[in-house]
Amino acid sequence: MTPYKLKILNGVLKLKSFADVVLNIFGIKDLGTQTGNVDNGLVDWSIQHLTKTTAQWNADTTTILLKGQLGIEDTSNATYKLKIGNGTNLWSALSYVGGGGGGSQDLQSVTDLGATTTNAINTAGITSDYLQLDTTATNTNAVGKVVWNDTLGTGEIGLKGGNINAKLAQDLYARVVNKTSQNLLRANYQAVKVQSAQGQRLAVNFAQANNDNNSADTIGIVAENINNNQEGFVITVGQIININTTGSLQGETWADGDVLYLSPTTAGSLTNIKPNGSTGHIIVIGYVEYAHQNNGKIYVKIMNGWELSELHDTFINPATLTNNDALIYESSTQLWKNKQIGYTLLFTAGANLLISPADATTYYFGSGRNSIYTPDHAVIIPKAGTLKSISFFHVVNSTLGTAENSTLSVQVRNTGYSGSVSTTTQITNTYKFNSTYNSTMFTGLNIDLPEGCAVDIKWLTPTWVTNPAQIQINATLFIV
Amino acid sequence: MFTYEIKQENGKYNIYYYIDNKIETIEFYAYDLSNPQAIIRYGYKQKIN
């Protein structure tokens, strides 16, 4: 059969006459049924191309589509697939192509095509059951690109800026604003703390382990150069590489496996010298994975620790916190609270020999007896403390005294027996011996008692109408 | 030597205790010597001037 040919004039298909409509266009052998009209020489036609079912095409071992000839495969499920002949291959050897009119192609045909070019697919989105990285391929990193790094054992994604390739499932970064007033350098890998927020991002400043305020919010170490007041990444968990980890930057010598702490003395710096409660807060920054001048590695894992007062079952009241406080468990609140602990000293006068005090006489007592001399019975304080309260107790074993007032004071010799009186603190000037028993507590005292000081009670008696007789008086000192 | 002596002071009697002639302490003793309010400490002997 001699094929018919069309002429294209000025981009428009025109026919000489209607008789030319019956064509075998483009060499299609089996034209099938055509319908259409000619209006002012323009063709308005539908053309059915060579179409077979999938089974038919699969069984066809003779049909070879001409170069450029279209073949349609009816898959019997309302979809049609398209192939273009090359004048050589059977249907089975041709690839499907996409197109309109209900044509489709499978993913294999697309990837087969792609495999001969760049292996790259540019698309607005991919939905897949999984994404498998090629663990044998070698690729260069780029911003927004995920590639496999077999040495690191994971995929890496290039972060914004192009300076960091984050290791998937191994590294965590935070994009922050540099508020240190300095340009931060990755080479210095300084530690930063959260200071505030700016531009809906954390704003950071140098961390330092000299106090809770400078260290409690330590978040990471600088992972790329970040100019002052600009955004950049700090690493919060994971590995930072290619830095000087010999310790020379910090004036120390670091080795593989060293634990690195936040420096108490230099803002932003790290140290392998563990601080203690006296030298600073113990903020673990990470560990030296590889101590090297250029290719050093640090694994970052920040542990800020807790203040004692930040524990859930602890309440330390700053309003009452003072020297010699201890943590005491309080069952009613189920909390550990700061409370004063200390010791008591019992000073007695007339313990073994009852005393009948004379009028207007000054007595001193401490260790069991009384005397008109000080410090004959003073007590040596073995441990420095503060006298917080004192309780006086007496028993009158014979005649009760009348209601005249005695004055009781605490007398301290800071340097011991041989020293002069350092302080005399009046506790009461209204103590009476007109009852058989009496116990009175005096609180709110704050009398310093240096270690080794001598303490006794000074008792100035009144002139009684009736003197108390055969009495014992005790003083209990509460010292913390 | 443990000694004592009783002295009248301001209409009352006080008792002075001495150790080796040094006053150790002073206590009220009685309004009336025939009715002492305190017991003289054991082991002290009356001082003889």
ipTM of the complex, rounded to two decimals: 0.92
pLDDT score of A105: 56
Given pLDDT bands bounded at 50, 70 and 90, which one contains residue A44? low
Given pLDDT bands bounded at 50, 70 and 90, which one contains residue A98? low
Chain-wide mean pLDDT for chain A?
A: 87
Indicate yes or no: CB of B27 within 8 angstroms of CB of A355: yes
- For tokens 């209990």, the residue is A476
CB pairs under 8 A between A and B: 45
Indicate yes or no: CB of A372 within 8 angstroms of CB of B25: yes
A12: amino acid identity, one letter: V
pLDDT, tens digit, 9 for 90 and up, residues A360-375: 999 999 987 788 999 9
pLDDT score of A11: 47
The reply to whether A218 and A316 lie within a common domain is no
pTM: predicted TM-score of the whole model, two decimal places: 0.57
pLDDT, tens digit, 9 for 90 and up, residues A308-329: 999 999 999 999 998 878 999 9
The reply to whether A42 and A75 lie within a common domain is no
Considering the domain boundaries, does residue A397 fall inside one? Answer: yes
> Do B28 and B8 form a contact (C-beta atoms < 8 A)?
no
pLDDT score of A137: 84
The reply to whether A194 and A251 lie within a common domain is yes
Note whether B24 contacts A: Cβ–Cβ < 8 A.
Answer: yes
- Is pLDDT larger for residue B47 or for residue A256? A256
Q: Any idea what the CATH number is for the domain that residue A358 is in?
A: 2.60.120
pLDDT score of A46: 63
Q: Residue range A30-40: average pLDDT? A: 48
Q: Which domain holds residue A20?
A: 8-46
Considering the domain boundaries, does residue A140 fall inside one? Answer: no
Q: Residue range A220-245: average pLDDT? A: 98
The reply to whether A418 and A382 lie within a common domain is yes
Residues of chain B contacting A465 with CB distance shorter than 8 Å: none
pLDDT score of A287: 98
Q: Any idea what the CATH number is for the domain that residue A226 is in?
A: 2.40.300
The reply to whether A379 and A471 lie within a common domain is yes
The reply to whether A220 and A321 lie within a common domain is no
How many domains does one find in chain A?
A: 5
The reply to whether A184 and A267 lie within a common domain is yes
The reply to whether A176 and A215 lie within a common domain is yes
**Which of B23, B28, B38 is the closest to A372 by Cβ?**
B23
Residues of chain A contacting B14 with CB distance shorter than 8 Å: 358-359
* Res. A229: pLDDT tops 80: yes
Note whether B5 contacts A: Cβ–Cβ < 8 A.
Answer: no
A389 has which bridge partners?
A478
From chain A residues 350-409, the ones with a CB under 8 A of any chain B CB are 353-359, 361, 363, 370-372, 398-399
- Is pLDDT larger for residue B42 or for residue A458? A458
pLDDT score of A18: 46
The reply to whether A329 and A353 lie within a common domain is no
Find which of A352, A354, A359 to mutate to test the B interface (most B CBs within 10 Å of its CB).
Answer: A359
Indicate yes or no: CB of B27 within 8 angstroms of CB of A399: no
pLDDT score of A2: 47
The reply to whether A348 and A368 lie within a common domain is yes
Residues of chain B contacting A372 with CB distance shorter than 8 Å: 23-26
**Which of B14, B25, B41 is the closest to A370 by Cβ?**
B25
Residues in chain A: 480
What letter does residue B25 receive in the DSSP assignment? E
Given pLDDT bands bounded at 50, 70 and 90, which one contains residue A33? very low
Given pLDDT bands bounded at 50, 70 and 90, which one contains residue B48? confident
pLDDT score of A249: 97
Considering the domain boundaries, does residue A119 fall inside one? Answer: no
* Res. A205: pLDDT tops 90: yes
pLDDT score of A108: 62
Indicate yes or no: CB of A398 within 8 angstroms of CB of B37: yes
CB atoms within 10 A of CB A432: 18
Considering the domain boundaries, does residue A99 fall inside one? Answer: yes
Given pLDDT bands bounded at 50, 70 and 90, which one contains residue A106? low
Considering the domain boundaries, does residue A427 fall inside one? Answer: yes
The reply to whether A245 and A353 lie within a common domain is no
Find which of B9, B23, B27 to mutate to test the A interface (most A CBs within 10 Å of its CB).
Answer: B27
Considering the domain boundaries, does residue A134 fall inside one? Answer: no
Chain B: residue whose CA lies nearest to A370: B25
Chain B: residue whose CA lies nearest to A377: B24
- A377 alpha-carbon distance from chain centroid: 61
- For tokens 């090359």, the residue is A86
The reply to whether A381 and A436 lie within a common domain is yes
Indicate yes or no: CB of B38 within 8 angstroms of CB of A469: yes
Considering the domain boundaries, does residue A234 fall inside one? Answer: yes
Give the separation between CA A437 and CA A462, rounded to whole angstroms. 19
* Res. A399: pLDDT tops 90: yes
Considering the domain boundaries, does residue A141 fall inside one? Answer: no
H or E stretch at B10 = none
Given pLDDT bands bounded at 50, 70 and 90, which one contains residue A234? very high
pLDDT, tens digit, 9 for 90 and up, residues B10-19: 999 999 999 9
